Amino acid sequence: MRSFDVRVAGSGIVGKALALSLARLGLAVALRGAPALPGAREDVRAYALNPGSIALLRGLKVWDALPADARTPVRDMLVHGDAAGAALEFSAWEQRVGELAVITDAAALERELDSALRFAPHVTLVEADVPADLVAHCEGRAAAALEGLGAGIETRSYEQKAIAARLVAARPHGHVARQWFRSPDVLALLPFDRPEADRSYALVWSLPADKAVALLAAEPAAFEAELVLATGGEAGDLRLASERAAWPLAVGGAAAWCGPGWVLAGDAAHVVHPLAGQGLNLGLADVAALVSVIEAKEPWRRLGDERLLRRYVRLRAAPTSAMLRITDGLLRLFAEDKAPIRDLRNNGLNLVNRISPLKRWLTARALDS
Ligand SMILES: Cc1cc2nc3c(=O)[nH]c(=O)nc-3n(C[C@H](O)[C@H](O)[C@H](O)COP(=O)(O)OP(=O)(O)OC[C@H]3O[C@@H](n4cnc5c(N)ncnc54)[C@H](O)[C@@H]3O)c2cc1C
Protein backbone atom coordinates (compact mmCIF):
# COMPACT_ATOMS: atom_id res chain seq x y z
CA MET A 1 0.00 0.00 0.00
CA ARG A 2 1.31 3.46 -0.87
CA SER A 3 2.63 5.46 2.09
CA PHE A 4 2.09 9.22 2.48
CA ASP A 5 3.84 12.00 4.36
CA VAL A 6 0.58 13.12 5.99
CA ARG A 7 -2.91 11.64 6.19
CA VAL A 8 -5.53 14.27 6.92
CA ALA A 9 -8.56 12.58 8.48
CA GLY A 10 -11.76 14.63 8.04
CA SER A 11 -12.56 16.80 5.05
CA GLY A 12 -14.38 19.73 6.61
CA ILE A 13 -13.03 23.22 5.87
CA VAL A 14 -10.09 22.76 8.28
CA GLY A 15 -9.10 19.36 6.84
CA LYS A 16 -9.33 20.60 3.26
CA ALA A 17 -7.36 23.77 4.01
CA LEU A 18 -4.69 21.73 5.81
CA ALA A 19 -4.37 19.21 2.96
CA LEU A 20 -3.99 22.01 0.40
CA SER A 21 -1.48 23.92 2.56
CA LEU A 22 0.71 20.85 3.16
CA ALA A 23 0.62 19.92 -0.52
CA ARG A 24 1.99 23.37 -1.32
CA LEU A 25 5.06 22.42 0.73
CA GLY A 26 5.55 19.49 -1.66
CA LEU A 27 4.39 16.85 0.85
CA ALA A 28 2.42 13.80 -0.30
CA VAL A 29 -0.97 14.16 1.39
CA ALA A 30 -3.83 11.68 1.67
CA LEU A 31 -7.21 13.24 2.52
CA ARG A 32 -9.88 11.02 3.97
CA GLY A 33 -13.40 12.36 4.42
CA ALA A 34 -16.54 10.67 5.69
CA PRO A 35 -18.92 9.28 3.03
CA ALA A 36 -21.65 11.85 2.20
CA LEU A 37 -24.91 11.08 3.96
CA PRO A 38 -27.79 10.35 1.57
CA GLY A 39 -30.04 13.40 1.21
CA ALA A 40 -27.48 15.74 2.89
CA ARG A 41 -28.49 19.36 2.35
CA GLU A 42 -26.30 22.35 1.52
CA ASP A 43 -24.91 24.14 4.60
CA VAL A 44 -27.02 27.27 5.21
CA ARG A 45 -24.40 28.83 7.49
CA ALA A 46 -22.30 31.85 6.66
CA TYR A 47 -19.06 32.31 8.59
CA ALA A 48 -17.67 35.58 9.92
CA LEU A 49 -14.03 35.21 8.87
CA ASN A 50 -11.17 37.30 10.22
CA PRO A 51 -8.12 38.62 8.28
CA GLY A 52 -5.95 35.66 9.30
CA SER A 53 -8.43 33.15 7.85
CA ILE A 54 -8.83 35.25 4.70
CA ALA A 55 -5.04 35.45 4.21
CA LEU A 56 -4.74 31.67 4.51
CA LEU A 57 -7.57 31.06 2.01
CA ARG A 58 -6.16 33.70 -0.33
CA GLY A 59 -2.77 31.95 -0.25
CA LEU A 60 -4.55 28.75 -1.32
CA LYS A 61 -6.12 30.62 -4.28
CA VAL A 62 -9.55 29.92 -2.82
CA TRP A 63 -10.57 33.30 -1.47
CA ASP A 64 -10.42 35.30 -4.70
CA ALA A 65 -12.22 32.49 -6.54
CA LEU A 66 -15.32 32.93 -4.33
CA PRO A 67 -18.19 34.74 -6.07
CA ALA A 68 -18.42 38.38 -4.91
CA ASP A 69 -21.88 37.85 -3.39
CA ALA A 70 -20.54 34.94 -1.30
CA ARG A 71 -18.35 37.28 0.82
CA THR A 72 -19.85 40.40 2.33
CA PRO A 73 -17.72 42.77 4.44
CA VAL A 74 -18.91 43.89 7.89
CA ARG A 75 -18.12 47.55 8.49
CA ASP A 76 -20.00 48.08 11.77
CA MET A 77 -21.13 45.87 14.58
CA LEU A 78 -23.90 46.64 17.04
CA VAL A 79 -24.21 44.50 20.17
CA HIS A 80 -27.40 44.98 22.22
CA GLY A 81 -27.78 44.02 25.85
CA ASP A 82 -31.10 43.15 27.46
CA ALA A 83 -31.99 46.62 28.73
CA ALA A 84 -33.19 49.49 26.58
CA GLY A 85 -30.23 51.54 25.37
CA ALA A 86 -27.53 49.10 26.53
CA ALA A 87 -25.34 48.67 23.48
CA LEU A 88 -21.79 48.34 22.27
CA GLU A 89 -20.79 49.62 18.84
CA PHE A 90 -17.71 48.72 16.85
CA SER A 91 -16.79 50.34 13.58
CA ALA A 92 -14.05 49.43 11.11
CA TRP A 93 -13.42 53.11 10.56
CA GLU A 94 -12.94 53.78 14.31
CA GLN A 95 -10.68 50.73 14.64
CA ARG A 96 -8.70 51.83 11.55
CA VAL A 97 -9.26 48.55 9.66
CA GLY A 98 -10.91 47.97 6.26
CA GLU A 99 -13.55 45.66 7.69
CA LEU A 100 -14.32 43.96 10.99
CA ALA A 101 -14.96 40.57 9.34
CA VAL A 102 -16.18 39.14 6.05
CA ILE A 103 -19.35 37.04 6.09
CA THR A 104 -18.63 34.03 3.88
CA ASP A 105 -21.00 31.50 2.39
CA ALA A 106 -20.14 28.11 3.95
CA ALA A 107 -21.29 26.02 0.96
CA ALA A 108 -19.50 28.25 -1.58
CA LEU A 109 -16.29 28.04 0.45
CA GLU A 110 -16.49 24.22 0.57
CA ARG A 111 -17.07 24.15 -3.21
CA GLU A 112 -14.00 26.33 -3.93
CA LEU A 113 -11.85 24.22 -1.61
CA ASP A 114 -13.07 21.08 -3.44
CA SER A 115 -12.22 22.56 -6.79
CA ALA A 116 -8.72 23.59 -5.56
CA LEU A 117 -8.25 20.02 -4.29
CA ARG A 118 -9.11 18.60 -7.72
CA PHE A 119 -6.13 20.51 -9.18
CA ALA A 120 -3.71 20.02 -6.25
CA PRO A 121 -0.86 17.81 -7.51
CA HIS A 122 0.15 16.22 -4.19
CA VAL A 123 -3.26 15.44 -2.65
CA THR A 124 -4.86 12.02 -3.04
CA LEU A 125 -8.42 11.46 -1.88
CA VAL A 126 -8.53 8.11 -0.07
CA GLU A 127 -11.28 5.99 1.42
CA ALA A 128 -9.19 3.96 3.87
CA ASP A 129 -6.65 4.67 6.62
CA VAL A 130 -3.52 4.59 4.45
CA PRO A 131 -0.13 4.63 6.26
CA ALA A 132 1.51 8.04 6.78
CA ASP A 133 4.30 9.58 8.90
CA LEU A 134 1.77 11.95 10.45
CA VAL A 135 -2.01 11.69 10.87
CA ALA A 136 -3.76 15.04 11.27
CA HIS A 137 -7.16 14.55 12.88
CA CYS A 138 -9.67 17.09 11.56
CA GLU A 139 -12.88 15.13 12.11
CA GLY A 140 -14.48 17.96 14.05
CA ARG A 141 -16.51 16.95 17.08
CA ALA A 142 -16.65 13.37 15.78
CA ALA A 143 -12.98 13.03 16.83
CA ALA A 144 -14.19 12.56 20.42
CA ALA A 145 -15.63 9.17 19.41
CA LEU A 146 -12.39 7.88 17.81
CA GLU A 147 -11.19 4.82 19.65
CA GLY A 148 -7.67 4.64 21.02
CA LEU A 149 -6.68 8.20 20.04
CA GLY A 150 -5.67 9.17 23.57
CA ALA A 151 -6.40 12.87 23.13
CA GLY A 152 -8.77 13.03 26.12
CA ILE A 153 -11.42 15.09 24.30
CA GLU A 154 -14.12 16.35 26.67
CA THR A 155 -17.01 18.66 25.87
CA ARG A 156 -19.83 20.06 27.98
CA SER A 157 -23.21 20.58 26.33
CA TYR A 158 -24.79 24.03 26.69
CA GLU A 159 -28.21 22.34 26.29
CA GLN A 160 -28.68 24.84 23.48
CA LYS A 161 -29.04 24.67 19.72
CA ALA A 162 -28.08 27.30 17.17
CA ILE A 163 -30.57 27.84 14.37
CA ALA A 164 -29.05 29.06 11.11
CA ALA A 165 -30.97 30.33 8.08
CA ARG A 166 -30.83 32.97 5.36
CA LEU A 167 -33.17 35.93 5.62
CA VAL A 168 -34.18 38.80 3.40
CA ALA A 169 -34.92 42.07 5.21
CA ALA A 170 -37.22 44.96 4.42
CA ARG A 171 -34.31 47.41 4.95
CA PRO A 172 -30.76 47.43 3.50
CA HIS A 173 -28.22 45.87 5.87
CA GLY A 174 -25.72 48.74 5.43
CA HIS A 175 -22.91 46.22 6.19
CA VAL A 176 -23.89 46.27 9.88
CA ALA A 177 -23.75 43.03 11.92
CA ARG A 178 -26.35 43.11 14.70
CA GLN A 179 -26.26 40.97 17.79
CA TRP A 180 -28.50 40.58 20.81
CA PHE A 181 -26.95 39.14 23.99
CA ARG A 182 -29.47 38.27 26.68
CA SER A 183 -31.03 35.49 28.69
CA PRO A 184 -31.80 32.87 27.42
CA ASP A 185 -30.86 33.50 23.78
CA VAL A 186 -28.12 35.07 21.66
CA LEU A 187 -29.16 36.23 18.21
CA ALA A 188 -26.94 37.45 15.36
CA LEU A 189 -27.97 38.99 12.04
CA LEU A 190 -24.90 38.94 9.79
CA PRO A 191 -25.15 41.19 6.71
CA PHE A 192 -25.04 39.21 3.50
CA ASP A 193 -25.58 39.68 -0.23
CA ARG A 194 -27.21 36.32 -0.95
CA PRO A 195 -29.91 35.71 -2.05
CA GLU A 196 -30.58 39.47 -2.44
CA ALA A 197 -27.76 42.01 -2.60
CA ASP A 198 -27.77 44.57 0.27
CA ARG A 199 -30.86 43.11 1.97
CA SER A 200 -29.96 39.63 3.14
CA TYR A 201 -28.77 38.36 6.49
CA ALA A 202 -27.32 35.11 7.74
CA LEU A 203 -29.09 34.25 10.99
CA VAL A 204 -27.44 32.52 13.95
CA TRP A 205 -29.90 32.17 16.82
CA SER A 206 -28.74 30.22 19.88
CA LEU A 207 -31.56 29.12 22.16
CA PRO A 208 -32.38 26.52 24.81
CA ALA A 209 -32.75 23.24 22.90
CA ASP A 210 -36.53 22.84 23.46
CA LYS A 211 -37.25 26.41 22.27
CA ALA A 212 -35.04 25.86 19.20
CA VAL A 213 -36.86 22.64 18.33
CA ALA A 214 -40.23 24.45 18.60
CA LEU A 215 -38.99 27.30 16.38
CA LEU A 216 -37.65 24.87 13.79
CA ALA A 217 -41.06 23.26 13.58
CA ALA A 218 -42.99 26.56 13.50
CA GLU A 219 -44.64 27.70 10.27
CA PRO A 220 -42.42 30.17 8.36
CA ALA A 221 -44.78 33.08 9.11
CA ALA A 222 -44.75 32.30 12.86
CA PHE A 223 -40.95 31.98 12.83
CA GLU A 224 -40.60 35.32 11.01
CA ALA A 225 -42.93 36.98 13.54
CA GLU A 226 -40.80 35.63 16.43
CA LEU A 227 -37.70 36.99 14.71
CA VAL A 228 -39.10 40.48 14.33
CA LEU A 229 -40.09 40.40 18.00
CA ALA A 230 -36.61 39.20 19.05
CA THR A 231 -34.85 41.87 16.98
CA GLY A 232 -37.25 44.67 17.99
CA GLY A 233 -37.93 45.29 14.30
CA GLU A 234 -34.48 46.86 13.96
CA ALA A 235 -33.86 45.32 10.53
CA GLY A 236 -37.49 45.71 9.46
CA ASP A 237 -39.61 42.71 8.50
CA LEU A 238 -37.55 39.57 7.97
CA ARG A 239 -38.48 36.87 5.45
CA LEU A 240 -37.04 33.34 5.48
CA ALA A 241 -35.04 32.70 2.30
CA SER A 242 -33.74 29.19 3.05
CA GLU A 243 -34.45 26.12 5.10
CA ARG A 244 -33.72 26.33 8.81
CA ALA A 245 -31.03 24.03 10.26
CA ALA A 246 -29.80 23.64 13.84
CA TRP A 247 -26.60 22.53 15.55
CA PRO A 248 -26.25 21.39 19.20
CA LEU A 249 -23.85 23.66 21.11
CA ALA A 250 -21.03 22.67 23.43
CA VAL A 251 -17.71 23.87 24.80
CA GLY A 252 -14.49 21.97 25.43
CA GLY A 253 -11.54 20.38 23.78
CA ALA A 254 -8.70 17.92 23.92
CA ALA A 255 -6.36 17.45 26.88
CA ALA A 256 -3.58 16.44 24.45
CA TRP A 257 -3.38 17.97 20.96
CA CYS A 258 -0.62 15.69 19.72
CA GLY A 259 1.28 12.47 20.34
CA PRO A 260 3.79 10.37 18.39
CA GLY A 261 2.59 10.43 14.78
CA TRP A 262 -0.68 12.30 15.33
CA VAL A 263 -1.99 15.82 15.82
CA LEU A 264 -5.39 17.55 16.14
CA ALA A 265 -6.67 20.69 14.39
CA GLY A 266 -9.98 22.58 14.23
CA ASP A 267 -13.08 21.43 16.11
CA ALA A 268 -11.33 18.11 16.78
CA ALA A 269 -9.10 20.06 19.20
CA HIS A 270 -11.50 22.73 20.51
CA VAL A 271 -15.20 23.54 20.41
CA VAL A 272 -16.50 27.05 21.19
CA HIS A 273 -19.97 28.62 21.26
CA PRO A 274 -20.68 30.44 17.96
CA LEU A 275 -21.63 33.69 19.76
CA ALA A 276 -18.33 35.30 18.75
CA GLY A 277 -18.09 33.58 15.33
CA GLN A 278 -14.61 32.25 16.08
CA GLY A 279 -14.67 28.41 15.79
CA LEU A 280 -13.53 28.21 12.18
CA ASN A 281 -11.15 31.15 12.59
CA LEU A 282 -9.44 29.20 15.38
CA GLY A 283 -9.31 26.10 13.16
CA LEU A 284 -7.77 27.97 10.22
CA ALA A 285 -5.26 29.59 12.59
CA ASP A 286 -4.35 26.02 13.68
CA VAL A 287 -3.71 25.18 10.03
CA ALA A 288 -1.45 28.22 9.54
CA ALA A 289 0.51 27.41 12.73
CA LEU A 290 0.94 23.69 11.95
CA VAL A 291 2.09 24.44 8.41
CA SER A 292 4.60 27.05 9.64
CA VAL A 293 6.04 24.55 12.14
CA ILE A 294 6.32 21.81 9.51
CA GLU A 295 7.88 24.23 7.03
CA ALA A 296 10.58 25.13 9.60
CA LYS A 297 11.26 21.45 10.49
CA GLU A 298 14.89 20.32 10.70
CA PRO A 299 15.59 18.05 7.67
CA TRP A 300 16.50 15.08 9.89
CA ARG A 301 13.34 15.25 12.00
CA ARG A 302 10.33 13.09 11.11
CA LEU A 303 6.95 14.68 10.52
CA GLY A 304 5.39 12.59 13.27
CA ASP A 305 8.05 13.57 15.86
CA GLU A 306 6.11 14.60 18.96
CA ARG A 307 8.72 17.24 19.82
CA LEU A 308 8.05 18.93 16.48
CA LEU A 309 4.28 18.75 16.97
CA ARG A 310 4.55 20.27 20.46
CA ARG A 311 5.91 23.46 18.86
CA TYR A 312 2.57 23.79 17.09
CA VAL A 313 0.64 23.12 20.29
CA ARG A 314 2.65 25.81 22.11
CA LEU A 315 1.72 28.34 19.40
CA ARG A 316 -1.99 27.55 19.66
CA ALA A 317 -2.55 26.87 23.37
CA ALA A 318 -2.84 30.49 24.60
CA PRO A 319 -5.08 31.98 21.87
CA THR A 320 -7.38 28.95 21.99
CA SER A 321 -7.85 28.86 25.75
CA ALA A 322 -8.37 32.65 25.78
CA MET A 323 -11.16 32.32 23.20
CA LEU A 324 -12.73 29.41 25.11
CA ARG A 325 -12.73 31.47 28.31
CA ILE A 326 -14.09 34.63 26.64
CA THR A 327 -16.97 32.92 24.82
CA ASP A 328 -17.89 30.72 27.78
CA GLY A 329 -17.64 33.64 30.21
CA LEU A 330 -19.81 35.89 28.04
CA LEU A 331 -22.42 33.21 27.71
CA ARG A 332 -22.57 32.62 31.46
CA LEU A 333 -22.74 36.36 32.14
CA PHE A 334 -25.66 36.82 29.78
CA ALA A 335 -27.43 33.61 30.86
CA GLU A 336 -27.79 34.98 34.40
CA ASP A 337 -31.26 36.45 34.91
CA LYS A 338 -30.81 38.04 38.38
CA ALA A 339 -31.49 41.78 38.34
CA PRO A 340 -28.15 42.98 39.87
CA ILE A 341 -26.15 40.94 37.33
CA ARG A 342 -28.39 42.11 34.50
CA ASP A 343 -27.80 45.73 35.51
CA LEU A 344 -24.08 45.15 35.89
CA ARG A 345 -23.65 43.65 32.43
CA ASN A 346 -25.81 46.28 30.72
CA ASN A 347 -23.90 49.07 32.45
CA GLY A 348 -20.71 47.20 31.51
CA LEU A 349 -21.68 47.26 27.83
CA ASN A 350 -22.25 51.00 27.95
CA LEU A 351 -18.99 51.52 29.85
CA VAL A 352 -16.92 49.47 27.39
CA ASN A 353 -18.59 51.41 24.60
CA ARG A 354 -17.11 54.62 25.99
CA ILE A 355 -13.56 53.30 26.46
CA SER A 356 -11.89 53.39 23.04
CA PRO A 357 -8.64 51.53 23.98
CA LEU A 358 -10.66 48.67 25.48
CA LYS A 359 -12.79 48.48 22.35
CA ARG A 360 -9.67 48.45 20.23
CA TRP A 361 -8.26 45.61 22.35
CA LEU A 362 -11.49 43.59 22.02
CA THR A 363 -11.55 44.16 18.25
CA ALA A 364 -7.92 43.10 17.93
CA ARG A 365 -8.70 39.84 19.80
CA ALA A 366 -11.61 39.13 17.39
CA LEU A 367 -9.55 40.02 14.31
CA ASP A 368 -6.67 37.77 15.27
CA SER A 369 -7.56 34.35 16.72
C1 LIG B 1 -24.48 27.87 13.77
C2 LIG B 1 -22.99 28.00 13.72
C3 LIG B 1 -22.41 29.17 13.26
C4 LIG B 1 -21.02 29.30 13.21
N5 LIG B 1 -20.49 30.48 12.79
C6 LIG B 1 -19.15 30.63 12.76
C7 LIG B 1 -18.56 31.86 12.32
O8 LIG B 1 -19.26 32.83 11.98
N9 LIG B 1 -17.20 31.97 12.29
C10 LIG B 1 -16.40 30.94 12.67
O11 LIG B 1 -15.17 31.09 12.64
N12 LIG B 1 -16.93 29.76 13.10
C13 LIG B 1 -18.27 29.58 13.16
N14 LIG B 1 -18.80 28.38 13.57
C15 LIG B 1 -17.90 27.27 13.95
C16 LIG B 1 -17.51 26.43 12.72
O17 LIG B 1 -18.67 25.92 12.09
C18 LIG B 1 -16.62 25.27 13.12
O19 LIG B 1 -15.62 25.71 14.00
C20 LIG B 1 -15.96 24.65 11.88
O21 LIG B 1 -16.94 24.18 10.98
C22 LIG B 1 -15.03 23.52 12.28
O23 LIG B 1 -14.47 22.99 11.10
P24 LIG B 1 -13.74 21.58 11.14
O25 LIG B 1 -13.32 21.31 9.73
O26 LIG B 1 -12.74 21.57 12.22
O27 LIG B 1 -14.86 20.52 11.60
P28 LIG B 1 -16.18 20.07 10.85
O29 LIG B 1 -16.79 21.18 10.08
O30 LIG B 1 -17.02 19.39 11.88
O31 LIG B 1 -15.67 18.98 9.78
C32 LIG B 1 -15.27 17.69 10.16
C33 LIG B 1 -15.30 16.78 8.94
O34 LIG B 1 -14.82 15.48 9.29
C35 LIG B 1 -15.69 14.48 8.78
N36 LIG B 1 -15.56 13.28 9.62
C37 LIG B 1 -16.17 13.03 10.80
N38 LIG B 1 -15.80 11.81 11.25
C39 LIG B 1 -14.93 11.31 10.36
C40 LIG B 1 -14.17 10.09 10.28
N41 LIG B 1 -14.26 9.16 11.23
N42 LIG B 1 -13.35 9.92 9.22
C43 LIG B 1 -13.24 10.85 8.26
N44 LIG B 1 -13.93 12.01 8.29
C45 LIG B 1 -14.76 12.23 9.32
C46 LIG B 1 -17.05 15.15 8.82
O47 LIG B 1 -17.93 14.51 7.91
C48 LIG B 1 -16.72 16.57 8.41
O49 LIG B 1 -16.68 16.71 7.01
C50 LIG B 1 -20.19 28.23 13.65
C51 LIG B 1 -20.77 27.05 14.13
C52 LIG B 1 -22.16 26.93 14.17
C53 LIG B 1 -22.76 25.65 14.70
For residue 358, name the pLDDT band (cuts at 50, 70, 90).
low
Backbone angles phi, psi at 36, to 5 degrees: -65, 140
- Out of 79-83, 191-195, 290-294, least confident range: 79-83
**270, 155 in Cβ contact below 8 A?**
no
Return d(Cα 134, Cα 305) in angstroms, integer: 8
**354 confidence band (pLDDT: 50, 70, 90):** low
* Integer Cα distance of 341 and 352 in angstroms: 16
Q: Which residue has the higher pLDDT, 148 or 11?
A: 11
CA of 332 to the centre of ligand 1 (A): 23
Please give the mean pLDDT across all residues of the chain: 91
Answer yes or no: is the C-beta of 53 below 6 A from any ligand 1 atom: no
pLDDT at 2: 81
Ligand 1 pocket residue status of 11, Cβ below 6 Å: yes
Tens digit of each residue's pLDDT (9 = 90 or more) over 189-226: 999 999 999 999 999 999 999 999 999 999 999 999 99
Q: Which residue has the higher pLDDT, 338 or 188?
A: 188
Q: Per-residue pLDDT averaged across 94-103, rounded?
A: 88
Q: What is the model's pLDDT at position 86?
A: 67
pLDDT of residue 351: 63
pLDDT band, residue 356 (cuts 50/70/90): low
Question: Residue 365 pLDDT > 70, yes or no?
Answer: no
pLDDT of residue 89: 82
Could you give the CA distance from residue 174 to residue 181 in angstroms, rounded to a whole number?
21
pLDDT at 369 over 60: no
Distance 364 CA to ligand 1 centre (A): 24
Q: Is the shortest distance between the CB of 281 and ligand 1 below 6 Å?
A: yes
Predicted local distance difference test score (pLDDT) of residue 181: 86
Burial 234-271 (b: 16+ CB within 10 A, else e): bbeebbbbbebbbbebbbbbbebbbbebbbbbbbbbbb
Average pLDDT over residues 136-148: 94
Alpha carbon dihedral 47, 52, 53, 59, in 10-degree steps, equals: 150
Q: How does pLDDT run across 231-268, given as a tens digit for each residue?
A: 999 999 999 999 999 999 999 999 999 999 999 999 99
Ligand 1 in reach of 278 Cβ (< 6 A): yes
Amino acid occupying residue 199? R
**Helices 339-354, 306-335: crossing angle, 10 deg rounding:** 120
pLDDT at 85: 67
